[in-house]
């Protein structure tokens, strides 16, 4: 059990009659960056709080560094936590804020000064030590919150939507900064966000949460290209999701009957049986509009709308039974040459068809 830096098993938490967390089990290696991703109310913050010791789980176990920590008070866990609104102490200046954890640890004053100066240098804000939190911009406050966390070298850092309140540009630059700090300092980070892009950018692994339970855990790549559940497929990135019935299970592929009577080829998935109702998902960027009928899958439709988003262009195509399908392609000069109302053939490789069975019924 000691090989894991952090481990939870079947952690459950209820608030009155509301089940906030059903039975969450995660494992984290030392130095790993794991993100809890899910919509609000999915239980990700509840799990984080239980790990931080800020709420007491109803049942289940938490191990930190191989030691049981279910009801260990937060100040004994040696964790770092970065809060959504930074939680900088408004009545203390930046120096005192960062020095707070060191003072709690009875560090001598000379060493405190040195350490505070060191982390302020890391976050490139050495000139603000005498200022108060409200005198800093949102991005600066966030960096100070990070510095206050790094300064006492906690073994795990928990971050609860730390970039949620910042604008897009700042968020992107801080995402990279946090990622770099993580790599340079070799710390273990458990990160919470509802922003799937942020999760994809930063994480070693992502844990998708939905309705109080863990939906799927995997690397960003796995989750994006091989989602195992409807929810993960839908929550991460954009997707064309359709119902289908399995017609044939071949040696290395599955044939299904999709909407508008189309036959769809997908990669073999062991669990499917002939006649079973399933769903399949195709990422819009894997669907081509070049009228190539020789590929694994091809379906005809009428172009309804073209929207240029900047670097990408989205094509909305209506199939014969009214089902809408989206294709996303890099914007090029020829993007707008296809006319609305024109018939086009959509095509994609069978490796791009992801068959979802686990919660197809729900």
Partner 1 sequence: MSSKSEQLPSVTYTPIVRPRNWSRFLSISPAILFLGFFFIYPVVLLLGLSFVDSSGTLTLEHYTRLYEKAVYVKVLLITLKIAGWTTIFSILAGYPIAYLLSTVKSSTRNSLVIWVLMPFWTSFLVRTFAWIVLLGRHGALNELLLALGIVDAPVRLIFNFTGVMIGMVHALMPLCVLTMMSVMENIDRNLVSAASTLGARGGQAFWRIYFPLSAPGVAAGGMLVFITSLGFFITPALLGGARDTMIVQVIIFQIHEVLNWGFAGAIAMLLLASVLVIFFFYDQLLGLSTLSGESTHEHKKGVIGRIGRWLGGGVINILSYLCEQGGILIDKLTPLRTDRKRRQGSRTTLWITAMTVIAFLCIPALFVIPVSFTEDGFLGWPPVGFSLQWYEQVLNSPAWAAAASRSFVVAISSALLGMSIGVPAAFFLARRQFFGKAALFAFLVSPIIMPNIIIAVALFYLYAKLGLVGTNMGLILGHTILAIPYVVITVMAILKNYDHRLDQAAWTLGANKWQTLTRITLPLLSAGLIAAFMFAFVISFDELTIALFVTGGEVTTLPKQMWDDALMRVSPALAAVATLLLAFMSCIIFSTEYVRRRGLRK
- What size, in residues, is the chain? 362
Question: Environment class of residue 325 by beta-carbon count within 10 Å: exposed (0-12), middle (13-18) or buried (19+)?
Answer: buried
| Candidates 33-41, 80-88, 211-219, 321-329; binding stretch for partner 1 (CB under 8 A) | 80-88
Counting residues that bind partner 1 (by CB under 8 A) gives 35
d(CA 231, CA 342): 33
Q: Is 108 in the site for partner 1 (CB under 8 A)?
A: no
Given 3, 18, 40, 73, the residue binding partner 1 (CB under 8 A): 73
Looking at beta carbons only, is 80 or 284 nearer to partner 1? 80
First-to-final CA distance of the chain: 35
101 three-class SS: helix
Smallest distance, Å, CB 257 to partner 1? 51
Residue 85 vs 335, nearer CB to partner 1:
85
Chain centroid offset of residue 356 CA: 20
CB 131 within 8 A of CB 120: no
**What is the pattern of x (binds partner 1, CB under 8 A) and - over residues 17-56?**
-----------------------------------xxx-x
Q: Could you identify the residue written with the tokens 């017609």?
A: 247
Residues 101, 148: contact at Cβ < 8 Å? Answer: yes
Considering only the stretches 64-72, 162-170, 217-225, 342-350, report the one whose residues sit in contact with partner 1 under the rule CB under 8 A.
64-72
Exactly one of 18, 90, 270, 322 binds partner 1 (CB under 8 A); which one?
90
Residue whose pair of structure tokens reads 């976050």 in the numeric block: 123
335 contributes a contact to partner 1 by CB under 8 A = no
| Minimal distance, residue 54 CB to partner 1, in Å | 5
Among 23, 25, 27, 83, indicate the residue that binds partner 1 (CB under 8 A): 83
Any bridge partners for residue 328, and if so which? 314
Task: Please select the residue that binds partner 1; options are 132, 204, 234, 331, rule is CB under 8 A.
Answer: 132
Rounded Cα distance, 95 and 130, in Å: 6
CB of 188 to partner 1, least distance (A): 15
> What distance in Å separates the CA atoms of residue 44 and residue 88, rounded to the nearest whole number?
22
Pick 83 or 316: Cβ nearer partner 1? 83
Using CA atoms of 360, 13, 1, 204 in order, give the dihedral in degrees to the nearest 10. Answer: 60
Q: Residue 155 Cβ, how far from partner 1 at the closest point, in Å?
A: 13
Site of interaction with partner 1 (CB under 8 A): 52-54, 56, 67-81, 83-85, 87, 89-91, 100-101, 104-105, 132, 134, 148, 152, 158
């Amino acid at each position: 059990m000691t090989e894991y830096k952090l481990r939870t098993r079947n952690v459950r938490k209820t608030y009155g009659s509301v089940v906030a967390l059903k039975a969450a089990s995660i494992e984290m290696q030392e130095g790993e960056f794991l993100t809890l991703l899910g919509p609000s109310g999915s239980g990700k913050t509840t799990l984080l709080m239980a790990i931080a010791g800020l709420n007491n789980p109803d049942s289940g176990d938490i191990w930190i560094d191989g030691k049981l920590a279910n009801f260990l008070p937060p100040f004994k866990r040696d964790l770092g936590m970065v809060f959504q609104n930074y939680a900088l102490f408004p009545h203390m200046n930046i120096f005192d804020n960062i020095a707070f954890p060191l003072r709690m640890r009875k560090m001598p004053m000379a060493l405190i000064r040195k350490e505070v100066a060191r982390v302020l240098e890391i976050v490139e804000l050495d000139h603000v030590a005498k200022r108060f939190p409200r005198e800093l911009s949102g991005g600066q406050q966030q960096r100070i919150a990070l510095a206050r966390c790094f300064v006492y070298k906690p073994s795990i850092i928990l971050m609860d939507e730390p970039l949620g309140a910042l604008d897009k540009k700042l968020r992107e630059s801080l995402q990279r900064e946090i990622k770099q700090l993580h790599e340079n300092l070799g710390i273990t980070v458990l990160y919470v966000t509802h922003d799937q892009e942020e999760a994809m950018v930063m994480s070693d692994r992502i844990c998708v949460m939905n309705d109080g339970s863990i939906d799927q855990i995997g690397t960003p790549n796995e989750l994006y290209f091989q989602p195992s559940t409807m929810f993960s497929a839908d929550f991460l990135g954009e997707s064309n999701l359709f119902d289908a019935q399995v017609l044939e299970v071949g040696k290395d592929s599955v044939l299904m009957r999709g909407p508008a009577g189309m036959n769809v080829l997908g990669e073999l998935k062991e669990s499917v049986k002939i006649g079973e109702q399933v769903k399949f998902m195709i990422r819009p960027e894997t669907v081509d509009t070049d009228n190539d009928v020789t590929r694994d899958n091809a379906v005809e439709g009428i172009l309804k709308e073209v929207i240029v988003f900047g670097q990408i262009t989205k094509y909305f195509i209506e199939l014969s039974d009214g089902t809408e399908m989206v294709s996303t392609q890099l914007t090029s000069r020829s993007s707008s040459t296809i006319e609305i109302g024109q018939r086009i053939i959509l095509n994609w490789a069978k490796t791009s068809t992801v068959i979802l069975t686990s919660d197809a019924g729900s």
